Amino acid sequence: MDRTPADRPDHPQAAERFNEEQATYTVRGEGAPDLEKGVAAIREVLKTLPRRPGVYRMQDARGDVLYVGKARALRNRVTNYTQVAKLPKRLQRMVAQTRSMTIVTTRTEAEALLLEAQLIKRFRPPYNVLLRDDKSFPFILLREDHAFPRIQKHRGARRIKGQYYGPFASAGSVTRTLNALQKLFLLRSCSDSFFENRSRPCLLYQIKRCSAPCVGRIGAEEYDELVDDAKAFLAGKSTGVQARLSKSMAEAAERQDYELAAVYRDRLRALTYIQGSQTVHAEGLGDADVFALACKAGTVSIQAFFIRGGQNWGHRAFFPAHVNDVPEAEVLSSFLVQFYEDMPPPRRILVDRELADRALLEEALCERSGHKVGIEVPQRGSRRKLMDQAKRNAEEALDRRLAETTTQGKILRELADTFELADVPKRIEVYDNSHIMGTNATGAMVVAGPEGFRKSSYRKFNIKRPETQPGDDFAMMREVLQRRFGRLEKEDPDRQSGEWPDLVLIDGGKGQLSAVCEVMEDMGVHDVPVVGVAKGPHHGREGREVFHMPGGREITLPPNSALLFYLQRLRDEAHRFAIGTHRAKRAKSLTTSTLDEVPGIGPTRKRALLMHFGTARAVKGAALDDLEKAPGISRATARQVYDYFHPGA
């Protein structure tokens, strides 16, 4: 494990390094997709294929990736695809579409496994098992870049100096735990700038969620003790923390300092809350992830428990895509390598079945994380009980999913009949706008399908064309749709990517619908159905929505209709997303000023100028001599600011 980070296949430079240092072979064919041409294209690749570890990509006539696979010996593995009689129907269809292959060799099979996961995530091939939910997991971060460490929720890359604890299954679980930790350890959660500018304690101190180190209500040594207790607790050593709190409470009560004793009592209650929320018994397990798989009716559910320091930090169900005709153990193996592509693996992973490539998975995860990783199948004792619980959760989640899918299927069929669609829609796009008196105008698009909302496909649009008048909702909708479908026409004119909608819903009435239809007509898009969703005559009353169709036809649905409830959910989700986008833009605009545009003026100098002059307008009107007197502003910087605002001086 003495490689540099860039040598690891999971590093962002890895794919580039593989292409530069190792051989890449590409052979292209032409013609309609049929089995003979697919086999011919694969045999052409075999002529120059080495017996080395690596990754292969199968591509169709357009160059789109159909499948990504890895092999210990590339030549032996790819040869199997030419023996079509032995292949399952799923792989025969894949071979029939194959017109080219791209081969990347690696040093080891473990490197090939990691690169395979990286490429699957990038290309999302239709014949690979796919982890659908690829959103990052939240962590608790105890920062160590300040004399008084800060505790906070964290997502994304772990670049900030500090201790990371997680993953947590959801934002809700990490928020609840974080609130309890603040009550328990009284660590600050404010930003450094807020901390530095306090003259008296904030509300968190008053409600006993912070020890107010910003104004000296606690010394550095005492605060460090709280930090050490927090680290011990998050590492699973809650017994010692509980004993110290109980002792301190008893001593305070004995001194008749009942107010302090009550503080310790409240902290003990917070500790009890956290311990009580650990519904999964994982004592003595340390750091581990638990995975159990359930399969029914061609759908797979994988339940994950996250155990850290012997504490349950939540669980989540995953539903991998493209699992038909794929053995269950292979589905679980593919899921694991994709799951840990962005997630640091713990030292122990528990699974509910034997995996054929377990040793390879262990080697790859060990290489990626830099520490030993073991994959185990519990057979008895408390770990077996934990696995049985995960198995039950997987089965229950799968039953709920199938029930929801059945209901969703009926609703979508009714939707297709009501709006006279050619088929059940696989992609529904809903559009809405948000602004206040024309300012900070934004458009929003949400996407839904048979599986529910596709949040990774949501898009926001900043209204920025000069010809779009502030507050003109019709013009705003025209701009949003022109940009959306203009990009679709440019990037996917043949409509092969699945990004084209089967139905467009507009939050609005006849006017918005007319504007959208005009855009579609101008762009030559005639086959995408558009429906306007407007409130009825009793404005604001649920159940009275009117659905406007092109041509002037109007449709209303019974107030207790399941389809009406579904359409309301779509409209409300678009409204929520549009308002959230608008608020974020408005909040950002409130914190910006003309000083942000001055070259060489960063946050520190901007703060110094504002603290000295009060407003950006005062800075703009200040004389050069006055600018030079501002604390922290050099003569050269003052000249730079003055010249920016007075170019003719």
The strand ranges marked E within 72-186 are 100-105, 139-143, 151-154, 162-165
Give the pLDDT score at 450.
Answer: 86
Could you give the CA distance from residue 163 to residue 151 in angstroms, rounded to a whole number?
Answer: 10
DSSP for 236-255 reads T-HHHHHHHHHHHHHHHHHT
Could you give the CA distance from residue 111 to residue 116 in angstroms, rounded to a whole number?
Answer: 8
Of the candidate ranges 466-475, 529-538, 605-614, the one whose mean pLDDT is the lowest: 466-475
Element (H, E) at 616: helix 616-621
pLDDT (average), residues 233-247: 73
Could you give the CA distance from residue 336 to residue 355 in angstroms, rounded to a whole number?
Answer: 11
Fill in the amino acid letter for 575: H
- Write the burial class of residue 529 (CB in 10 Å: 0-12 exposed, 13-18 middle, 19+ buried): middle
Give the pLDDT score at 537.
Answer: 60
pLDDT (average), residues 71-80: 92
In angstroms, how far is the first alpha carbon of the chain from the final one?
Answer: 62
Give the pLDDT score at 283.
Answer: 60
Task: List the structure tokens of 391.
Answer: 């198995």
Residue 337 dihedral angles phi and psi, to the nearest 5°: -70, -30
Element (H, E) at 318: strand 311-318
Give the pLDDT score at 504.
Answer: 92
CB 541, CB 467: distance < 8 Å:
no
Residue 16 has pLDDT above 50, yes or no: no
Which residues, listed in sequence order, are joined to residue 449 by a DSSP beta bridge?
Answer: 452
The radius of gyration of the chain from alpha carbons, rounded to an integer in Å, stands at 30
Collapsing DSSP to helix, strand or coil, 206 comes out as helix
Residue 7 has pLDDT above 70, yes or no: no
User: Predicted confidence band at 592 (pLDDT cuts at 50, 70, 90)?
Assistant: low
User: Predicted confidence band at 32 (pLDDT cuts at 50, 70, 90)?
Assistant: very low
Using one digit for the tens of pLDDT, what is the confidence trace for 197-227? 888 888 888 888 888 999 988 888 889 988 8
Could you give the CA distance from residue 529 to residue 177 in angstroms, rounded to a whole number?
Answer: 46
Q: At what angle do helices 562-590 and 381-418 cross, to 10 degrees?
A: 100
> pLDDT higher for 496 or 11?
496
CB 494, CB 410: distance < 8 Å:
no
Using one digit for the tens of pLDDT, what is the confidence trace for 526-566? 888 999 998 766 544 555 788 998 888 888 888 888 899 99
Largest interatomic CA distance in the chain: 90
Q: What is the mean pLDDT of the chain?
A: 82
User: Predicted confidence band at 587 (pLDDT cuts at 50, 70, 90)?
Assistant: low
pLDDT (average), residues 155-168: 82
Give the pLDDT score at 273.
Answer: 59
User: Predicted confidence band at 180 (pLDDT cuts at 50, 70, 90)?
Assistant: confident
> pLDDT higher for 169 or 372?
372
What residues contact 286, with CB distance under 8 A and at least 6 apart? 236, 307, 309, 310, 347, 348
**Most confident segment among 127-136, 181-190, 230-239, 295-304:** 295-304
Give the pLDDT score at 436.
Answer: 65
Residue 489 dihedral angles phi and psi, to the nearest 5°: -60, -35
Give the pLDDT score at 8.
Answer: 46
User: Predicted confidence band at 440 (pLDDT cuts at 50, 70, 90)?
Assistant: low
CB 364, CB 345: distance < 8 Å:
no
The closest of 84, 77, 129, 128 to 103, measured between CA atoms, is: 77
What residues contact 635, with CB distance under 8 A and at least 6 apart? 628
> pLDDT higher for 333 or 310?
333
Sketch out the chain's domains with CATH numbers: 5-123 (3.40.1440.10), 139-276 (no CATH), 288-399 (3.30.420.340), 428-582 (3.30.420.340), 594-645 (1.10.150.20)
Which residues, listed in sequence order, are joined to residue 431 by a DSSP beta bridge?
Answer: 445, 506
Collapsing DSSP to helix, strand or coil, 98 comes out as coil
> pLDDT higher for 438 or 424?
424
Give the pLDDT score at 439.
Answer: 64
- Which residue stretches of 419-509 are H helix? 473-491
Could you give the CA distance from residue 365 to residue 352 in angstroms, rounded to a whole number?
Answer: 18
Element (H, E) at 534: strand 530-534
Residue 26 has pLDDT above 60, yes or no: no
User: Predicted confidence band at 231 (pLDDT cuts at 50, 70, 90)?
Assistant: confident
Structure pTM? 0.65
Which residues, listed in sequence order, are joined to residue 143 by a DSSP beta bridge?
Answer: 162
User: Predicted confidence band at 437 (pLDDT cuts at 50, 70, 90)?
Assistant: low
The closest of 225, 228, 232, 184 to 208, measured between CA atoms, is: 184
- The pLDDT > 90 percentage for the chain reads 24
Residue 317 has pLDDT above 60, yes or no: yes
Using one digit for the tens of pLDDT, what is the confidence trace for 92-117? 999 999 999 999 999 999 999 999 99
> pLDDT higher for 309 or 20?
309
Residue 120 has pLDDT above 80, yes or no: yes
> pLDDT higher for 536 or 608?
608
Could you give the CA distance from residue 189 to residue 149 in angstroms, rounded to a whole number?
Answer: 9
The strand ranges marked E within 334-464 are 348-351, 374-376, 428-436, 439-449, 452-453, 459-462
Collapsing DSSP to helix, strand or coil, 519 comes out as helix
Using one digit for the tens of pLDDT, what is the confidence trace for 257-313? 787 788 778 777 766 655 555 445 556 677 899 999 999 888 899 999 988 877 777
Using one digit for the tens of pLDDT, what is the confidence trace for 355-412? 999 999 999 999 988 889 999 999 988 889 889 999 999 999 898 888 877 788 889 9
